[in-house]
Structure 1
Amino acid sequence: MTAKTLRVTTPAPTDIVLTRVFNAPRHLVFDALTKPELLKRWFGARGWRLVECEVELQVGGSWRFVSVGPDGLKMGQGGVYREVQAPDRLVYTESYDDQWVPGESLVTAVLSERAGLTTLQTMLRYSSPEVRDLVLATPMERGVGESYDRLDEVFASR
Structure 2
Amino acid sequence: MAETQFTAEAGRQDIIITREFDAPRDLVFRACTEPDLVAQWWGPKGTTTAVEKMDAKPGGTWRVVQRDTEGNTFAMHGVFHDVTSERIVDTVEYEGMPGHVVLETETLEDLGGGRTKMTDHLVFQSVEDRDAMLQQDMKEGMVGTLDLLAGVLENLKTQKQAAPAR
| 2:105 aligned residue | 108
| 2:21 aligned residue | 22
What is the correspondence of 1:125-140 to structure 2 with a 5 Å cutoff? 125-140=123-138
TM-score by length of 2: 0.87
Q: In 2, are the aligned partners of 1:40 and 1:53 still within 8 Å (CA)?
A: no
Query: Offset at 1:41?
Result: 1.4
Q: How many residues align?
A: 154
Q: Write the deviation string for residues 55-112 of structure 1: whole angstroms up to 9, x where unpaired.
A: 1111111011101112001110010011112x1001111101111x861010000000
Corresponding residue SS for 1:27: helix
Q: Write the deviation string for residues 105-139 of structure 1: whole angstroms up to 9, x where unpaired.
A: 10000000112111100100011111111111211
| 2:140 aligned residue | 142
The RMSD of aligned alpha carbons is: 1.6
Give the aligned residue type for 2:107.
V
Give the aligned residue type for 1:144.
M
When structure 1 is superposed on structure 2, of 147-156 and 90-99 the one drifting more is 147-156
Q: Distance in 2 between matches of 1:25 and 1:76?
A: 30
When structure 1 is superposed on structure 2, of 11-20 and 144-153 the one drifting more is 11-20
| 1:118 aligned residue | 116
Percent identity over paired residues = 31
Corresponding residue SS for 2:129: helix
Give the aligned residue type for 2:36.
E
Q: In 2, are the aligned partners of 1:102 and 1:131 still within 8 Å (CA)?
A: no
Q: In 1, are the aligned partners of 2:31 and 2:153 still within 8 Å (CA)?
A: no
What is the correspondence of 1:7-156 to structure 2 with a 5 Å cutoff? 7-10=5-8, 13-85=12-84, 87-99=85-97, 103-114=100-111, 115-156=113-154
Q: Distance in 2 between matches of 1:25 and 1:127?
A: 33
Query: Offset at 1:37?
Result: 1.1
Larger Rg: 2
Query: Offset at 1:156?
Result: 2.0
Structure 1 moving runs of 4+ over 3 Å: none
Q: Distance in 1 between matches of 2:43 and 2:50?
A: 11
